[in-house]
Amino acid sequence: MTLLAKLSECLDRPAVVAPVVLVIGYIIYQLFLKPSVLPKQLDIIGAKKGDWFPTLQAKWRNTKDFKAALRIADAEFRDRPGILPLLGVPNLVLLPRGDIQFVQEQPENVLNMHVQTMESLQTDYTSPDPELIHNPVHNKLITTTLTNQTGNLVPDMVEETAYGFEKLWGTDTEYKDVCVYDTLRRVIGLVTNRVFVGNPLCRNEEMLELSMQYAQAVPAAGFFLVSLPKPIHWLVARATSIPLRRLAKRYEKYIRPEIEARLSAYDASRREDLEKKPAGERNDFLQWSIAQAKESGDPYHWKVESLAGRILLLNFASIHTSSFSITHVVLDLAASKQEYVDELRAEIKSVLAEHGGQWNKRALAKMEKLDSLMRESSRMNSFVTVGLMRRVVAKGGITTPSGVTIPCGASVCVPAWQVLHDETVYPDAETFKPFRFAEQRKDDSVEYVKRANKAWATASNEFLAFGHGRNACPGRFFATNELKLMLGYLVMNYDIEIKEGTRPRNNWYSLNRVPSFDATVRIKRRVAKA
């Protein structure tokens, strides 16, 4: 019997045909017929007249060329909301610029960023343990202890920055080529983990490699899972979670002895009723996490698996976007005028001289040109192209200032890329001006608060690179100091130039814009060290 005949015989059996018809019907319903939670009166960004399936076709067009979609949105939807379909992202309602302030002021029980992020990254499947995301107690340590301790941690970060650059960029005084992204993400891994777990564990190459693999795998897995049709999502999601959780287990193997040793030391010190931490107790995120866990009284939080999982999640949050930021600014600087580098070196040298030649938090705060360079690079190359992504969680939905009611379960966002490249907001917006914000901060005709708001870590309606409002990136104060320190060290200790003569173009992956991962620069160690 031929294969075709066997297939025909199978299809003659009701027990076979019925389930097949049901599955196909369910898939067609989910893809084409299921009612949308999005407002029906809104136009679809990227749809064209005559489209049979406007949402699906717009989703394909927008994903293929999101920059073009943003231009369409800016031209046709500047003052009204529209539906923004994209692969790898739940269908969004893009609100007009005038609603930015409205969105950032909404409470968590109306518009929720945490729920939106869990959906976008599919954290129930991509995290080591979903409970770590559902109960993110580490966020409090980021906003309080990490921010407050950044000044005390600068000496450790300086030491690790020097170690990282000498290891990965070397000390050769002749020009050589280096891959910017690959080397700098490893320097960031070293410096960040010096703060997270301390030395020598931060230099464990196998553990660092696993943390970087995880940082790259999570967004890719989240994008893939969100794109799946509902009928197969459950099965594929569980299969996808297996390699990620195996990776987390391998990471845990390296950090487990350190956690166990610290837990034992913590318990021993408390049994002796010491009123303050014992001499030699670490000042890093792992130690703060242990203290927080013990003070909570909940054994779950001081399980080795829980503590290891939180450190791994922090590596994802820190390494992922910081690697993009430092790569962007190095490419920008390498492709710019030498006079900019000279001005930076003069500022850094002058400020360090005022602080006894030592890098510290106060010195970093005074390096306004360095800060401006980082902010301008973030403006030109922001990873955030649509901002303030939130899930509507209020049962009755939400009505925007323009009168549109968006139901519960829908997701909203606001323009970010368009604002960052708007000539009326940033004159000569398409030109890289590294000291744009430093000049504005020195303008005495502007009140002090407005001038201070031009610092890199400061969020506003016109600068959403770190988010805005109560949900702005909690670790941005630490991250900006870390990256400014790294860039300052690089400027004072290396000469850099673009090999090709022009800055490599950025790449777009759906709504995210990232630097070229393969871009190289020519570098050499300066003879006169900082």
**CA–CA distance, 381 with 358 (Å, rounded to integer):** 31
Low-confidence ranges of the chain (pLDDT < 50): 16-18, 20-23, 25-35, 530
At 54 the pLDDT is 87
Q: Is 473 annotated as a binding residue?
A: yes
Q: Report the C-alpha dihedral over residues 75, 78, 83, 87, rounded to 10 degrees.
A: 60
* φ, ψ at 250 (rounded to 5°): -65, -40
Pairing of strands 386-392, 89-94: unpaired
**CA–CA distance, 307 with 80 (Å, rounded to integer):** 46
**CA–CA distance, 25 with 132 (Å, rounded to integer):** 37
* φ, ψ at 465 (rounded to 5°): -60, -30
**CA–CA distance, 66 with 60 (Å, rounded to integer):** 10
Question: Buried b / exposed e across 145-165, counting CB within 10 Å, b at 16+?
Answer: bbbebbeebbebbbebbebbb
Tell me the CA distances in angstroms from 196 to 32, 154, 193, 283, 379, one per residue in order: 47, 13, 4, 9, 28
**Cβ-contact 180, 519 below 8 angstroms:** yes
**CA–CA distance, 150 with 456 (Å, rounded to integer):** 16
- Tokens at residue 397, please? 């939905």
At 16 the pLDDT is 45
Pairing of strands 520-525, 89-94: unpaired
At 372 the pLDDT is 96
- Tokens at residue 374, please? 């980082």
What amino acid occupies position 320?
H
Tell me the domain boundaries of the chain: 1-28, 127-384+427-461+465-525
What amino acid occupies position 379?
R
What are the tens digits of pLDDT across the range 130-163? Answer: 999 999 999 999 999 999 999 999 999 999 999 9
What are the tens digits of pLDDT across the range 349-380? Answer: 999 999 999 999 999 999 999 999 999 999 99
What amino acid occupies position 373?
L
- The residues facing 392 across adjacent strands are 111
Q: What is the CATH number of domain 127-384+427-461+465-525?
A: 1.10.630.10
**CA–CA distance, 378 with 78 (Å, rounded to integer):** 23
At 23 the pLDDT is 47
284: left (phi over 0), alpha (psi -120 to 50) or beta: beta
**Cβ-contact 437, 446 below 8 angstroms:** no
